[in-house]
Structure 1
């Protein structure tokens, strides 16, 4: 009898060999559990995740059903010919799934279309990922218990997890600390002139360069956090060669700016620093 060959690998910690596919199937849920705990820890400590999820994800995390109340309501009579049965491709095999008992025999009508959409969206969202989502949710709730989330809706939870996406320059200016310079210093005026000329994406990159995050706390710039607690965004003029690039200290939300001789030079150096962070002195 021919023997079946299977591939094995030793995991990095030197434990016993395991079959790759079996290990992936058994252990991959632990990764989602880990991600959930990281999300919970970020929320607990007031830090923000640079990225986000869809609103249905946040609704599921809150334990709320997914709805499409804001969708356009069009009459489908004579337009769609569907039943409460859908098909999906599973590794090359077409499989039918009934959205409700005996769904294959139930036609979707004008009166039942909202039910169809609700069942279909829930199925599409959870099909194949329910176990993974539940593992992530479990990890999140180990840090942030579910009952503490009842006061929030999905949009508020998104803000709590990711912070504000849009940057308010006036709020930024009003909550910036100046070190070894004043509001009338050329470097300060030119810095804000450069910021005002940036588009939203470039402003976010600058904020990430200096603070380590492109997101703004819900309370605005006054609530920025450093490594050891609250720490305002800081502009620090330093005595250094104007051939140097600005230097960021992300633990202190501080940017060191040499005394550049003109605006164009500050703009070019600042732009180079935030666009080409890797390789420059970022602490």
Structure 2
């Protein structure tokens, strides 16, 4: 529809068509206990090809928000939009050199960019002939988009969420083989607390090569529901209660168990005179 605002997923797929891999992350790691109801939100955009050569460019924006707050979707969308504008600025202002971002902001509100002299110096003038192309079907990004709401719902329910729209699908490639790259979506969810006990970080991965927003939103919601139901089943009121010593699904450990195991390993190394890794 003419004049309609494009969705966050359309922004991300648009970046993918220009070769940018995007990642979103919602985590409570690093926040004070007084911020238990908030999450640290970040958006990254990465490219491994620049100015006709192989070079890594990583641009990112961050913020802290309440995933249950009414403004959470718009604030997360703002992070994506700012990264999109930052990528466009890098493409426009650094056609022949590799950019990197600084910590201060310019008059446009975006983080300032500068020449990455190290990466630029490693571009080979005689071999700056790489122009990536992306195998993304036209119109795949169209349709209702609820992927930010689904990620925020997972964060509101205590999970840590991290996703990636990236070209690391399909066959294995060398860096110079960048024609018609296959894109897909990867989601990582981690339960950090269950039944009143802190759980050691062990994210579970879910992937799809379907880039339609309905498929992506459904993957997030379904994966979150499956993981939540799994932990409920092994909890005190679940049908599998008592099947594991710690009340968690097989393969998971409490944070206290992980710390105790590491201390035991350190003590064993010290007794043997073996240095820690």
Q: Fold-level match, TM-score > 0.5?
A: no
Task: State the TM-score, normalized to the length of structure 1.
Answer: 0.24
Task: State the TM-score, normalized to the length of structure 2.
Answer: 0.24
Query: More strand by proportion, 1 or 2?
Result: 2
* Rg (Cα) greater in structure: 1
